[in-house]
C-alpha cells in the first residue's frame, strides 16, 4: 500500500489508495553516487548516447567484461576489459584494471591498463594512468600522473599527421 499526500482531499490527510493523489517524485540517481564534476559533465554531456549511462557505485567491486554502446561511469572498483562506443568515466577514488576501448575516456581515479582506441582522453586532476594511451586528443590536468607511452593526433588510416603527439609523461 502506497502512502502519499492527497492534494484533492479535504484537510491534510494521507491516502493509501492513490486514486485521487499522485505518487511522490522518484530520485533519478542513487544517493551514494557522487555527481559529475563541472568539467567532466561538460565534456560527457556532448558524448551522451541513446544507450544511457550505467554506473558502478563506490563501495562495489566487480570483475568481468563490459561491452556495449552506452556510457559507463565507475565510482567503485572494476577488474576486466571495457569496450564501449560511449564515454567511460572513472570517478575520483575509482580503480579500473584492464584494457579500454571507448569513444571518450575521462580519468579522475586510477586506471591500470592501456587505452587502445579513443577519440578523446581526459586525465583530470588526481587521475592516474599506468599504461599506454592511443587517442585522437589527449588532455592532462595539473596534478594528474601517468606512466606509459602516449600517441595522439594521428589519423587511424594511413597515419597522416594532424598534430605531433608521441611522448611519454
pLDDT tens column, 155-167: 655 443 333 344 4
Are residue 82 and residue 54 in the same domain, yes or no? yes
Is residue 169 within 8 Å of 150, Cβ to Cβ? Answer: yes
Rounded mean pLDDT, 127-150: 97
Are residue 26 and residue 78 in the same domain, yes or no? no
- Alpha-carbon distance of 19 to 118, in angstroms, equals 51
Are residue 89 and residue 108 in the same domain, yes or no? yes
Is residue 9 within 8 Å of 19, Cβ to Cβ? Answer: no
Are residue 100 and residue 19 in the same domain, yes or no? no
Placement of cell 561491452 in the chain: 67
Placement of cell 600522473 in the chain: 145
Higher pLDDT, 6 or 89: 89
pLDDT at 35 over 80: no
Are residue 63 and residue 80 in the same domain, yes or no? yes
Higher pLDDT, 47 or 64: 64
Domain range enclosing 20:
1-31
Are residue 156 and residue 81 in the same domain, yes or no? yes
Are residue 27 and residue 39 in the same domain, yes or no? no
Higher pLDDT, 120 or 50: 120
Counted domains in the chain? 2
Amino acid at each position: 500500500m502506497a502512502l502519499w499526500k492527497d492534494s484533492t482531499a479535504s484537510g491534510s490527510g494521507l491516502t493509501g489508495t492513490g486514486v485521487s493523489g499522485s505518487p511522490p517524485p522518484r530520485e533519478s540517481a542513487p544517493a551514494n553516487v557522487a555527481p559529475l564534476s563541472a568539467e567532466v559533465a561538460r565534456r560527457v554531456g556532448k558524448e551522451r548516447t541513446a544507450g544511457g549511462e550505467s554506473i558502478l557505485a563506490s563501495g562495489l567491486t566487480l570483475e568481468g567484461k563490459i561491452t556495449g554502446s552506452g556510457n559507463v561511469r565507475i565510482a567503485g572498483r572494476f577488474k576486466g576489459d571495457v569496450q564501449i562506443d560511449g564515454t567511460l568515466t572513472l570517478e575520483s577514488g575509482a580503480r579500473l584494471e584492464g584494457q579500454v576501448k571507448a569513444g571518450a575516456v575521462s580519468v579522475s581515479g586510477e586506471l591500470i591498463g592501456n587505452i587502445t582506441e579513443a577519440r578523446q582522453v581526459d586525465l583530470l586532476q588526481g587521475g592516474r594512468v599506468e599504461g599506454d594511451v592511443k587517442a585522437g586528443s589527449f588532455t592532462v590536468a595539473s596534478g594528474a600522473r601517468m606512466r606509459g607511452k602516449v600517441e595522439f593526433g594521428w589519423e587511424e588510416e594511413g597515419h597522416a599527421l594532424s598534430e605531433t603527439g608521441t611522448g611519454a609523461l
